[in-house]
Every structure is written in structure tokens, then in C-alpha cells.
Amino acid sequence: MFVALKKAPVVPLIHSDDTELAKKTVQALVDGGLRVVEVVLRTDAAMDCLEAIAKDCPDAITGAGTVLSLDHAKEVIKRGATFVVSPGLDEEVVKYCQSKNVPILPGIMTASELQKAYNLGLRTVKFFPAGLAGGVPMLKAFTSVFRDMSFMPTGGVSAANLADYLAVPKVVACGGSWLTPSAEIAVGNYAAVTKLASEAVNIARSVRG
């Protein structure tokens, strides 16, 4: 996952209750240059969407987001998730993923949470909700103290501020839902998704080469 993110350090969020629409959305993102996707567990069909993407979209690297519990973690890994993302820091979830050698990015927004993540052996975490938690200035403050930590800011990231976040050296990638607009997907306009993905890739290249 992290190797792929060096080429396109943006992780789109897949929020769907329809497996076919989810797969078409992922293919549109891949066509635009974004291979790493996060299927968020925010619908009743999210697990099925995750499994379908993992099975039928071989060009994508599929992870699960909004993983809230140990049961969630066990199920998403069973369904094919190759990485796990949580909105908060749960020690039980972290240790289970570590035992399965599955990358886990728990969400943090305070120094105390970040220090706990560090002492659990983690070196990359999700910074969430990035916009409300202080954005780029907060990330710079964290990286000055936690020099070994890397971050994936999510929540409030958009095309307008993506370059600012990616300019922070310790930001490994940014997550965002702006890349998968529900209104466009609902009418089958996957070209719009591909365009947004391509624009994000170009922004990333302008910052990181």
C-alpha cells in the first residue's frame, strides 16, 4: 500500500450500498491514476462492497475504513481488506491487525493519542478530522515532536488544500471523499470521478514530482 501511495498519495473513500456501483467507481478511480481505495463501513452493504471490490478489481489496493471494533476488524480482513483505517485509536483493533500483519491506521487528533499510537509500535496514523483538528499547522506541530511518525490526514481535505497537506514531508497520503461525489455516481457519470482522480494525481505530482 505505502509503495503505491508514493506514486499517487491520495486515498479516495468509497461510500456505497451497491456492489456494482462501488466496483465501477473504483475502476473510474484506477483509470484516473488512484489505485489505493478505502471502503468505509457506513452503509448496510459496505462489507459486501468491500468483498466485491477486493475480488473483482485486481488493479486496486482495497482497504476498509470506519473500522470501529475488533469484530469489524476481523470481518473486513476476512472479506479481503489489505489495510484497515479507524476514526479513533482502539488498542484491541490495533493489536489484532498487527497480529495479522495487516497495516492499521488509527485516527488520532491529540498528542496523547499520538503518543499512545507510537508506544503501540505504530509509525503511520490517520489524522482525523484534519480540518477541525488544526489542519496543516497542527501536523507541523506534531511532526516537530514525533519525528518518526507519518500521517494520513482525512476530513476536510479537498482539491483546494490537497497541495498544502502534501507539502508537509511527513504526510504519506491524504484521504478524501471529494473524489467520489455521490450525485455524479448516482447518474452513472464515472467520467467525472476519473477526472477528479486525475486532477488529484496532477496536484500530487506538482508538489512531490
Is 195 known to be catalytic? no
Indicate the Cα dihedral angle 11, 16, 21, 22, nearest 10°.
40
83-121: per-residue pLDDT in tens?
Answer: 999 999 999 999 999 999 999 999 999 999 999 999 999
Architecture of 2-197 per CATH?
Alpha-Beta Barrel (3.20)
Distance from C-alpha of 166 to C-alpha of 105, rounded to nearest angstrom: 17
For residue 209, the model assigns a pLDDT of 83
Task: Work out the end-to-end distance of the chain between its first and last CA atoms, rounded to an integer number of angstroms.
Answer: 19
Catalytic residue among 6, 7, 20, 38: 38
Handedness of CA 80, 67, 18, 199 (dihedral sign): negative
Give the pLDDT score at 4. 86
> What percent of the chain has pLDDT above 70?
100
Q: What's the gap between Cα 16 and its chain centre? A: 15
* Cβ-based neighbours of 154, under 8 Å, separated by 6 or more: 11, 13, 85, 107, 126, 127, 128, 129, 130, 174, 175, 176
The backbone torsions φ and ψ at residue 174, rounded to the nearest 5 degrees and listed phi first, read: -120, 140
Tell me whether residue 38 is one of the annotated catalytic residues: yes
Give yes or no for a contact between 54 and 64, defined as CB atoms under 8 angstroms apart.
no
Report how far residue 167's alpha carbon sits from residue 203's, in angstroms, rounded to the nearest whole number.
11
pTM for the model: 0.96
Domain boundaries defined on the chain: 2-197
**Which among 7, 20, 74, 126 is annotated as catalytic?**
126
